[in-house]
Amino acid sequence: MTTSEAIKWFENRKSGSTMPGARMVFDMALEALREKAARENPEPLTLEELRKMDGEPVWCRSCLNGRAEWAILRAVEMSKTWFVALGGATQGFGDKDTYGKTWLAYREKPKEE
């Protein structure tokens, strides 16, 4: 059974249950399965999420070479927001205007392409 199949199974069981305790258990299982799915197939962070990650570890991927490197993100406000990699990554990754064009950031390591 895949993670997405398990999620559907628990959603169906939860919707058909009238027992509050069972619904609570289904909610806990669904939360864990959704977190697992997010780790397996991470989505890029939005710019708003990225701004909130200041000082946090992220995985940055260059859209030019596809390589992913971890970094401690530092959001620097000047005329525009620059995101500078500290430690881990060998380069800074860019600013908000190039995000999604030349680089992306993730909470979890993205799959190699």
Is pTM beyond 0.85? Reply is no
Residue ranges for the chain with pLDDT beneath 50:
90
Neighbours of 58 (CB within 10 A): 24
| Domain positions in the chain | 3-40, 47-106
pLDDT for position 112 = 67
Complete DSSP assignment for 60-80: EEETTT--EEEEEEEEEESSS
pLDDT for position 88 = 52
Q: Give pLDDT tens digits for 60-88.
A: 887 777 777 777 777 666 556 666 665 55
DSSP-derived secondary structure letter, 100: T
Q: How many CA atoms lie within 13 A of 40 on its CB side?
A: 9
Instruction: Return all residues near 91 (Cβ < 8 A) that are at least 6 apart.
Output: 85
